[in-house]
A and B are shown apart, each in its own frame.
Chain A
């Protein structure tokens, strides 16, 4: 049992170190502008444009459910018009970036790990290296940059959708006064909440890209190896997003909300 735990900690620390080295290599490559712009544009399209439907649906239904649940509780204490304020703050600072991160981890992180993993087992990554191309320049940097660009845009869409859907539910289904509902939302949802959400989403984009690329580049042999790498990329990205979110909430809360 003790040995098992030690092995698990060793592997976890080893993986963390390897992802950090991968991040350093990617940043070095980015600084030297060895980016393939065409690949970058394609990745922005794949990670950003093609993820929109998933993210919009997630944002809309989360906003609606949150609005309804908040109303059910607030109605007991006659605070109906504060419903959208709760939805606004929650969607902007927490639910928007986190749910977008989880959905993108499932869609894009899995695709990154599967694609790069397949390239690894079919020796395409070795072929890249023989053609004097660094795999980090060609595979990691475009995906990392694309997710850094796409994630805040997607999170912004999820926030707006969530608030809009919450407003519609509040006004048309629950019968809350629209003017006070909107006014209170604007009063309590600050620019800092939106900023926290966007900063988080940039960090989550980096986590998804780096873990997806790392899992793909180090995947085991054969279809089983690719399958495992894909699953691990989604699971590890999701867990890392949730853990990072807690620490970012504390640190950004102190930084941006301190009087």
Chain B
């Protein structure tokens, strides 16, 4: 269970998040939407302790992670898997080394067992047999799938996705969405997706949170959000810019 209470975060004098509060239950699939630069990725990084807030709490299974130092956070992060916007694969390693990285670092499993788990994780993301390839040899969609395999290999309880379909064509985006849904259903994990892709949001979000003007503007089921008549939500969903905001 994830709970965020009155989270505040700024960069310099510019406040990005100002009093953000929400709660995500175990097993829930939540999509956080909002305009570019609204602080969605910043918020996501707070959930796993990659960023520290100026004020507020982040509770993971009832434990406040804000005062923890980097070493204490390592224990909490074992509950998480995260897919980054650019996949963030280690470019000096092969796909197999990337996916099996956590197990090799822990030295908890024999090499043969790690190889088996890597193979299974790659099959799960529909990329069997690419263990020996380098990240530079992969397309954008493949890199995201490998990133996802790396995130789920040690069966985390919570998986965070930072803009999983950004920069991909509609067909690959669709396959990534289906993959996220399959991972969610097969592994029974709590899923938090940050996106501004409305098709992904509709498909993946059991609940949608909208971040607007530094706060959670609204929260509701996919049907409620997409049927909303609120002008702010409507403009975002329909992709209509506010004439007052246009800069010439």
Contact = CB atoms under 8 A, between A and B. Distances in A.
Interface of A: 36, 119, 122-124, 126-127, 129-134, 138
Contacts of A36: 105
Interface string B53-83: 0000000000000000011011101101110
A131 B77 CA distance: 7
B50 A131 contact: no
Given A131-B150, A134-B70, A126 B45 contact: yes
Contacts of B80: 130
A133 B100 CA distance: 13
30 contacts: A119-B90, A122-B86, A122-B91, A123-B84, A123-B88, A124-B91, A126-B45, A126-B50, A126-B88, A127-B82, A127-B88, A127-B89, A127-B150, A129-B49, A129-B50, A129-B73, A129-B77, A130-B81, A130-B151, A131-B77, A131-B102, A131-B105, A131-B150, A132-B77, A132-B78, A133-B74, A133-B101, A133-B102, A134-B70, A134-B74
Interface of B: 45, 48-50, 70-71, 73-75, 77-78, 80-82, 84-86, 88-91, 101-102, 105, 150-151
Contacts of B91: 122, 124
A125 to B, nearest CB: 9
Among all A-B residue pairs, the 4 with the closest Cβ atoms: A127-B88, A123-B88, A130-B82, A131-B102
Contacts of A119: 90
Contact of B84 (A126, A133, A134, A138): A126
B229 to A, nearest CB: 38
A115 to B, nearest CB: 8
Given A123-B86, A127-B88, A129-B50, 11 more contacts: A122-B86, A124-B88, A126-B84, A127-B150, A130-B80, A130-B82, A131-B101, A131-B150, A132-B102, A133-B102, A134-B70
Nearest to A126: B50
Name which of B73, B80, B105, B150 has the most chain A CB atoms within 10 A of its CB. B105
A134 B102 CA distance: 11
Contacts of A129: 49-50, 70, 73, 77
Contacts of A130: 48, 50, 77, 80-82, 151
Contacts of B74: 132-134
Contacts of A127: 82, 84, 88-90, 150
B90 A124 contact: yes
Contacts of B70: 129, 134
A12 B150 CA distance: 39
B78 A134 contact: no
Contacts of B78: 132
A130 B150 CA distance: 10
Nearest to B102: A131
B30 to A, nearest CB: 18
A108 B92 CA distance: 17
A132 B74 CA distance: 5
Nearest to A32: B71
A177 B144 CA distance: 71
A130 B90 CA distance: 13
B73 to A, nearest CB: 8
